[in-house]
């Protein structure tokens, strides 16, 4: 059995961050958190493509699909050595991709997400608070 601390440390070491939902899950079900971390590691570990490139690809996908939770992959990209220039180019690819996603958000909306990535990047590099999504609020049985 894994402890919360073990899973959090494994995530920080291998994933380069602890995703917000796993900050909670790791407290309640650390073995589930470790299973996710192992899966994530198998996909995003250095291979034919380095981790940095895989994380930047995921950021570009997040921009193209206007997915606010995918944008945080800029943090492990930075921790894996991504430069500001590489991040800028990745978000540009995402913006252009948004124009080609069938039924997708379109370039103007993706552009806003690209700017958010650049904002998170600047704040993270300065050591400032960078989370921009409000924590999820639960309705306690009211749907």
Q: What's the pLDDT tens digit per position in 18-45?
A: 888 888 899 999 999 999 999 999 999 9
Residues 6+ apart with CB under 8 A from 118: 87, 88, 91
Domains and CATH numbers, the chain: 1-45 (no CATH), 46-130 (1.20.1290.10)
Q: Which residue has the tokens 């920080």?
A: 12
Name the nearest CA neighbour of 105 among 52, 55, 68, 50.
68
Per-residue model confidence as pLDDT tens digits over 89-128: 999 999 999 998 888 888 999 999 999 999 999 999 999 9
């Amino acid at each position: 059995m894994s402890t919360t601390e073990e899973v959090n440390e494994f995530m920080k070491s291998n994933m380069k961050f602890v995703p917000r939902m796993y900050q909670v899950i790791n407290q309640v079900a650390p073995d589930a958190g470790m299973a996710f971390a192992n899966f994530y590691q198998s996909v995003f570990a250095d291979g034919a493509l380095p981790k940095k490139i895989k994380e930047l690809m995921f950021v570009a996908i997040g921009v193209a699909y206007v997915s606010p939770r995918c944008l945080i992959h800029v943090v492990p990209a930075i921790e894996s050595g991504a430069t500001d220039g590489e991040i800028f180019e990745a978000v540009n690819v995402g913006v252009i991709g948004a124009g080609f996603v069938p039924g997708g958000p379109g370039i103007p909306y993706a552009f806003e997400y690209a700017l958010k990535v650049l904002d998170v990047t600047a704040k993270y590099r300065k050591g400032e608070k960078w989370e921009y999504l409000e924590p999820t609020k639960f309705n306690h049985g009211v749907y």
